[in-house]
Amino acid sequence: MSTAALVVKDNDTNLSSDIVKDMIKQLRAIDAYDTYAGWSEAKIIDPIVLTKERKKNIPVIGDPDEITIARLKAYYNSLATLIEQKSGLMAAPIVHLSHEGFGRALIMVGKLVVVDKILRDTHRFGFASLEELKEKSDQTVEKAIALIEKYKAAATD
């Protein structure tokens, strides 16, 4: 991907959000070949942003590639990390996908399922902007924390 094709700018204020910082950390951690060495944070997170133009270039039907699956897993790992930080309890992400990109993502705290998302069309996984990523992630974490508080006994089992 050339620098001119980037939609996330280095001065984007959402780069400092907890979810984006953690996703960048997760993506760097799975970069076994040092592909991201020397890359800016904006360049690393940029592929997660699917503008209308980018989405048009992805077929409606298709199987997800390994890089897209890695981004999807990094997202749910990051959500689990944020839930763990806010609740003080261990959160475990579980992502199960078929080769066609259909499946389910769960995040469990103790015996409590705090996130349950049906996954479809994962070959088109992404967000319209970093702001949308931050907003949806914040909502998901808030709901998870509310469930943990409501069902504390199940979360601490």
The pLDDT assigned to 5 comes to 79
Q: Does residue 4 lie within any of the structural domains?
A: no
The model's pLDDT over 50-78, given as tens digits with 9 standing for 90+, comes to 999 999 998 888 899 999 999 999 999 99
In a domain, 77, yes or no: yes
- For residue 1, the model assigns a pLDDT of 43
What pLDDT does residue 4 have? 52
Look at residue 7 and tell me if it is in a domain: no
Give the whole-number percent of the chain exceeding pLDDT 90: 92
Residue 149 within a domain: yes
DSSP string spanning the chain? --GGG--S-TT-GGGGSHHHHHHHHHHHHT-TT-TTTT--HHHHHGGGB--HHHHHTS-SS-PPPHHHHHHHHHHHHHHHHHHHHHHSS-EEEEEEE-TTS-EEEEEEETTEEEEEEEE--GGG--BSSHHHHHHHHHHHHHHHHHHHHHTHHHHT-
pTM beyond 0.85: the answer is yes
**pLDDT of residue 3 exceeding 80:** no
Does 8 fall in a domain? Answer: no
Question: What is the number of structural domains in the chain?
Answer: 1
Q: What is the pLDDT of residue 2?
A: 44
pLDDT tens-digit readout, 102-121: 999 999 999 999 999 999 99
Q: Identify any residues that bridge with 109 across adjacent strands, giving them in sequence order.
A: 91, 112
- Domain for residue 2, yes or no? no
Assigned domain for 3 exists: no
**CATH number, residue 27:** 1.10.3100.20
Range of the domain at 34: 13-155
**For residue 100, how many C-alpha atoms fall within 13 Å in the half-sphere facing its CB?**
5
pLDDT tens, 37-50? 999 999 999 999 99
Mean pLDDT of 89-105: 96
